[in-house]
Amino acid sequence: MASTKHSSSAQVPRVLHFQLVDGMQLQINVSGCSAARNVRVEFQLRNCTRSWILHWGFIYHGNPNWYIPTEGPYYQQGALQTPLVKSGQMYVLNIELRDPKIHAIEFVLKDGSCDRWLKLNHGNFHVEIPKNDDPSAFLPPIPNHLIEHKAYLIWESKGRPSSSPGQQKQDYNDALRQLQNQLEKGVSLSELENIYMKENTKSMTQDRGLATATSGAPSSYRRRHDVLKWLQKHSEGKNTGLSSSTLMNLVEKSMGGNNVVSWQSYPIGNYEVVVLSKFVSGDYHVLVTVNMKGSTVLHWGVSKSSPGEWLAPPSDMLPEKSKMVVGACQTYFTDVLGGEGSFQVVDINLQQRNFIGIQFVIWSNGTWIKHNGANFYIGLKPMNPSGKVDGNEKGILKWLLDEIAQREKEAERSFMHRFNIATELTERCKFEGELGLIGIFVWMRFMACRHLTWNKNYNVKPREISDAQDRFTNLLQRIFLNQPNDREIVRLIMICVGRGGQADAGQRIRDEILMIQRNNDCNGGMMEEWHQKLHNNSSPDDVIICEALLNYVRCGFKIDVYWRTLNANGLTKEKLASYDRPIVSEPCFRLDAKEGLIHDLTMYLKTLKAVHSGADLESAIETCIGSAFKSQNFTGAASGSLPLKLQESLNFVKAHVGDEKIGPLMEKLLDSRIELRPLLLTPHARGKDLLFLDLALASAVRITIQRGLKDLNFSYPPEIMFFISLVLENLCLSNVNNEDIIYCTKDWYHTCESYKPNDVPWALQTKAILDRLQLVLSDRSQNYQNKIQPSAQYLGNLLGIEKSVINTFTEELMRAGSSAVLSTLINRFDPTLRRVANLGSWQVISPVEVCGSVSCVNELASVQNKVFRRPTVVIATRVSGEEEIPDGVVAVLTSDAPDVLSHVSIRARNNKICFATCYDQNTLRNLKLKEGRAISIRLNSTNLMISDVSNSNLSLNSFVSIIPQRVTLRKRNFCGRYAVSIEEFTPEVVGAKSCNIKFLRGRVPSWIKIPMSVAIPFGAFEAILAQDINKDIANKVSSLQKLVKGGDMSKLQAIQEAILQMTAPLSLTNELRSKMKGARMPWPGDEGESRWHRAWQAIKKVWASKWNERAYLSCRKANLNHENLLMAVLIQEIICGDYAFVIHTKNPISGDTSEIYAEIVKGLGETLVGAYPGRAMSFTAKKNNVTCPSVTCYPSKQIGLYSRPSVIFRSDSNGEDLEGYAGAGLYDSVLMDEAERVVFAYSGDRLIVDRAFQTSLLSKIAEAGKVIESLYGSPQDIEGVVKDGVIYVVQARPQI
């Protein structure tokens, strides 16, 4: 064949691209040069579906004829033929040339399956070989800043060592050479700029001379990413994972409705099959619909005991137009015509039979239509005896867990069986919401933790296991991509299973063990036993066995090292002997085989990990930067390539994974995850491998920080802040519904940037962020407990799992995650922050000295109705702030952080009960160990001093009585009006809240605003309940009240529910409308009848709160006659403010009458008075100098509440603000419109970051408190709102 001509003077290209037929692409990479005898020519053929053959030869200078080596397979006219070999998504071939006389390679391509040739413009393809290895002469000049930046990265990759000028010059030269190499491979200068310069990393000259910390953390310690880009919120509604197709829309409009059980959609070429399951008149129907034309037949059967079963359906359930054939039913589809289109349907009425599935194929236009070459299978949910479908029961997907338990006997035969069953069940439950995937996860985790049998009396080839794993993990990756809400659960499942792979991956397990035995003369003994085990049923245990053998060989054949490795990973002699093909011998090798064994076992370990260890870091990196990913197209994911920056980060991780200094490694692990994230969220040729890589990187972050904990300097804040930043980023990238973590991370970045050594405000603010983070972690842990533990409990019991394993399932899961690592960092850093902030170990909310016997509870609410017969110190893990303190309790100590002005805090101070939050976990842990023993609590400045005392010392003298003085409720008479204006407010008509609003109006200075108000007076509720329209409800309430008096507290809820059924008389509606409009307040009915209905429901909720359990018990404890309690309703327009506040004009903690104490939150005040988790911002101010407020606590509230313009209905009973009885906060105030819960970052709030604004606003709030106190002449408890800098006071009462 003739050669194509090239000019000898032209530059020899190093990378050639050819666009071939059928979308195929050929890329040729040339490295080395003929003079150095090191030429390598790499052929990469993409977008092809079959093997091609390279028909080739080489030519010498000055001679156009082809030459071939003296050995090799010949073809006519003297040519070599070499097939390209499949590697991942490409076909590749490498040719190495040593002859310096070779000038070029020429070739054509031959289709391996037929006699078809591909040529270049009817001639040969021509690849010229470079004579000299100095391509830099042809390269564009590289800017100095790019070389310096690359040199910085090289220095960083070495662990940031102290560098001499000579070492810095060497890094510069290495950087230049590496950049030139990339230019040679076809990467443009602009691409290099994008890769290396898109982040503002310090240059080598700025940063390299600075010393590094012992952990290897960088000297700047600062990281900042746009974490909002990582926000993943749960989408609303049920997650079906289905795109809404035309056919699905047609079917839903024609045949949907409220009784739909499930949808499934199957695109088949230009057609679609949609299957709908639903109830019709109590019967279970399956409707198979298609958008095909002409005569179409459903060929179908049913499955009773297993999905692989095909049985003919009973004759009494055949649809119309059906006939029975051998072993099946054939039913003609019926046309359905609609205004927007037409489709065909077969309606199968299962009646109330319990089939587990239906199988079918479709005959249309002379062709059988199948699903990926197999039958369509529709899994059916089991029906219970009542004829209803079993669904979610007590937080589980019961039908799924029952079927898993039923099929475990089959699954335990081999991993092939288990993963095939898992694939089928996951397909059936993937649209059931997260409970379906949680069920699969629990099953897989029981398996991964060896609580289930891996193999039992079944011989299966490794490639069959690998294929089954591959199908399962491919399905999981598709769910991850298409069902964003389920990504977190999918990640948990994939951690439990290996990657799997196509047949060649599993087959290599069988082939390579034979090679190891042959190469190293170890055909008998333990190696032969292992060989038989591998052939029979390979498992993740083989990875451990291989690692044990490697350690045994490396240490000089010490058998104790072999057993230590096995035992450390849960493999004992008994376990090895229990395999179907037992391993009972110990390894024994020839001494001279050491190097060969190390080489062969190392390579074999990679093969085993490739199949069984999906989340193994080394294996995951190797898979993703191996030959399948090696492409010079760095601009996108479609070709299967990885961005250069990601490749560099991964190579660094691979080289430094065991470094003692963990800082640079941690940074690169996170940088890798950040670069990887966009690839995970879009379709990618190697999406599954990338997902396993991300799992491995996330796990490596956790393992690395755990390994480095001992070396971290917790007394040096910048270092710890840096590592907390990394762990936070790791959590952001791993979690769905991560809004709370995202905003905490934004706040954390801000506090890192504002760090000042020994700065008290900085320490307070940083501690608030960490307190909020602890709340977030606690909520996430509880969320996992609520969602996952019920499935673990139910399935574990069915499978006979050990009780202790079941009970700790979710707890162990959380302990193994990144949340636990973050919590450890926070707990160890907390003492440093408290020391800087001068906080001590305690926040004393109610300072009282007491003695009592220790009693530990998880929640204070669980014992609030209990009566303790001796003085008791309760140590409670959780205190919400809404609880009553039980009789007999003299102190409540907690690790929780209720607001200082919460209900329980006020109760403690009023009743002289010691109440304090403990910040030191060790102190609290030691106190819990004193369960049942007596302790003494004494005050020392702002801390508590606790010591042991004898139980005999708990005399009546040590018991501070909490029996209140006699308080009476004076019953008020109904004034005959259903609504009163503010001018008509009197103590006989309304409560103290309303009267105080009237008192303040007109007395406060003009810069303090009082909202417009009206009220529903005392007795209105009783009068309306007594009317004929509510007669039945009145009788029900009366009978329920008698039961409550008899001690049946459960009927309190029933009373509240009955009250919510009351009907409003027309007279109430008319009077209330008149009074609200007269006060220039918006009347809800003007916006429609539904708005008035919403307002009426809110009014009834306020009335019903008279019977909430906490209020009822409080009245009984205070010996108040509950029947004399009357409830007025204060109605105010909502001030949609920026902040809400509560002021106590006498410091409630210290009792200092010269000092104001206040708390402030973002949004509505309900998060402050309503026991929402987290602390409010608090401050104090001296009354003689309110312009200098002092912040004592920064906010850690997780959310703010915000409302549209609306009204609020406030409880205003005659049982509040009584002397000697604190009834405030017992009854409900209700917004007409439900408030929106907003998660936010405090780092964007002026009150936190702008010190001048903060001082100005807090001073104004303190001044308002001082003014109102002066009007009353006594300390006041004041609630208010700040809107656009204006102060609004919404209520005031005497401070108790």
Whether the predicted pLDDT of 808 surpasses 70 = yes
What is the overall mean pLDDT for the chain?
85
Cα–Cα distance for residue pair 304/315, rounded to 1 Å:
15
Match 């003609």 to its residue by tokens: 332
Q: Are 855 and 874 in contact (CB under 8 A)?
A: yes
Cα–Cα distance for residue pair 861/863, rounded to 1 Å:
5
1230 phi and psi angles, rounded to 5 deg: -125, 125
Residues in the chain, overall count? 1296
Cα–Cα distance for residue pair 364/345, rounded to 1 Å:
13
List, in order, residues 6 or more apart from 251 with CB less than 8 Å away: 274, 276, 287, 289, 343, 345
3-state DSSP assignment of residue 584: coil
> Rounded to two decimals, what is the model's pTM?
0.74
- What integer pLDDT is reported at residue 101 of this predicted model? 85
What percent of the chain is predicted at pLDDT more than 70? 89
- What integer pLDDT is reported at residue 4 of this predicted model? 37
The neighbouring-strand residues paired with 1127 are 1213
**Six-digit token string for 1279:** 């609630």
Distances (CA, A) of 802 to 449, 575, 806, 809: 12, 18, 6, 11
Whether the predicted pLDDT of 639 surpasses 90 = no
The neighbouring-strand residues paired with 264 are 275
3-state DSSP assignment of residue 263: strand
372-395 as b/e: b if 16+ CB within 10 A: eeebbbbbbbebeeeeebebeeee
> What angle do the packed helices 617-625 and 687-708 form, to 10 degrees?
140
380 phi and psi angles, rounded to 5 deg: -110, 140
For residue range 119-163, what is the model confidence (pLDDT) as tens digits? Answer: 888 788 999 888 876 555 556 677 777 887 788 777 777 766 766
Whether the predicted pLDDT of 382 surpasses 70 = no
Q: Are 142 and 134 in contact (CB under 8 A)?
A: no
* DSSP run (H or E) holding 303: strand 296-303
Cα–Cα distance for residue pair 745/726, rounded to 1 Å:
10
Lowest mean pLDDT segment, chosen from 580-594, 641-655, 948-962: 948-962
- What integer pLDDT is reported at residue 340 of this predicted model? 74
The neighbouring-strand residues paired with 1008 are 1287
**Six-digit token string for 220:** 């700047």
Give the residue among 289, 313, 309 at the shortest CA–CA distance from 301: 313
- Place 1070 in a pLDDT band, splitting at 50, 70 and 90: very high
- Place 6 in a pLDDT band, splitting at 50, 70 and 90: very low
List, in order, residues 6 or more apart from 232 with CB less than 8 Å away: 484, 487, 735, 736, 737, 738
Cα–Cα distance for residue pair 418/422, rounded to 1 Å:
6
* DSSP run (H or E) holding 527: helix 525-537
How many Cα atoms sit within 13 Å of 448 on the Cβ side? 19
Give the residue among 665, 742, 721 at the shortest CA–CA distance from 220: 721
The number of helix segments (H) and strand segments (E) in the chain equals 38, 43
Lowest mean pLDDT segment, chosen from 368-372, 1016-1020, 1253-1257: 368-372
Q: How would you list the strands of the sheet with 1286-1294, edge to edge?
A: 1008-1009, 1286-1294, 1276-1283, 1139-1144, 1155-1162, 1177-1182, 1190-1193
Match 């890094």 to its residue by tokens: 171
Give the residue among 253, 232, 235 at the shortest CA–CA distance from 244: 253
Q: Are 1110 and 883 in contact (CB under 8 A)?
A: yes
Q: Are 730 and 736 in contact (CB under 8 A)?
A: no
Q: Are 335 and 289 in contact (CB under 8 A)?
A: no
433 phi and psi angles, rounded to 5 deg: 85, 180
- What integer pLDDT is reported at residue 1214 of this predicted model? 87
Instruction: Answer yes or no: 903 catalytic.
Output: yes
Whether the predicted pLDDT of 640 surpasses 60 = no
List, in order, residues 6 or more apart from 730 with CB less than 8 Å away: 670, 673, 698, 701, 702, 818
Burial class (CB in 10 A: 0-12, 13-18, 19+), 754: middle
The CB density around residue 1054, as the number of other CB atoms within 10 Å, is 17
Q: What is the mean pLDDT of residues 431-448?
A: 91
Whether the predicted pLDDT of 18 surpasses 60 = yes
For residue range 78-106, what is the model confidence (pLDDT) as tens digits? Answer: 688 888 888 777 888 888 888 888 888 99
- What integer pLDDT is reported at residue 9 of this predicted model? 37
Cα–Cα distance for residue pair 127/57, rounded to 1 Å:
11
21 phi and psi angles, rounded to 5 deg: -75, 160
- What integer pLDDT is reported at residue 962 of this predicted model? 45
From 903, 1093, 1122, 1144, active-site residue: 903
Q: What is the mean pLDDT of residues 754-779?
A: 92
Whether the predicted pLDDT of 218 surpasses 80 = no
| Angle subtended at Cα 279 by Cα 273 and Cα 281, rounded to the nearest 5 degrees | 135
Whether the predicted pLDDT of 69 surpasses 70 = no
Distances (CA, A) of 4 to 105, 124, 475, 532: 11, 7, 49, 56
Cα–Cα distance for residue pair 134/934, rounded to 1 Å:
85
**Six-digit token string for 1080:** 């220039």
Cα–Cα distance for residue pair 637/1000, rounded to 1 Å:
67
- What integer pLDDT is reported at residue 1180 of this predicted model? 96
394 phi and psi angles, rounded to 5 deg: 55, 45
Q: What is the mean pLDDT of residues 561-580?
A: 91
- For residues 67 and 186, the model is more confident at 67
Cα–Cα distance for residue pair 1165/13, rounded to 1 Å:
71
Whether the predicted pLDDT of 404 surpasses 60 = yes
Cα–Cα distance for residue pair 554/1059, rounded to 1 Å:
79
How many Cα atoms sit within 13 Å of 709 on the Cβ side? 17
Which ranges constitute the DSSP H helices of 879-1009?
903-910, 921-928, 992-1000
* DSSP run (H or E) holding 251: helix 246-255
Q: Are 310 and 375 in contact (CB under 8 A)?
A: yes
For residue range 1238-1252, what is the model confidence (pLDDT) as tens digits? Answer: 998 999 899 999 999
Whether the predicted pLDDT of 853 surpasses 70 = yes
Whether the predicted pLDDT of 732 surpasses 60 = yes
The CB density around residue 438, as the number of other CB atoms within 10 Å, is 29
Strands 887-894 and 867-878: parallel
Whether the predicted pLDDT of 982 surpasses 70 = yes
| Angle subtended at Cα 719 by Cα 717 and Cα 724, rounded to the nearest 5 degrees | 90
Start-to-end CA distance of the chain, whole Å, equals 105
Cα–Cα distance for residue pair 885/876, rounded to 1 Å:
11
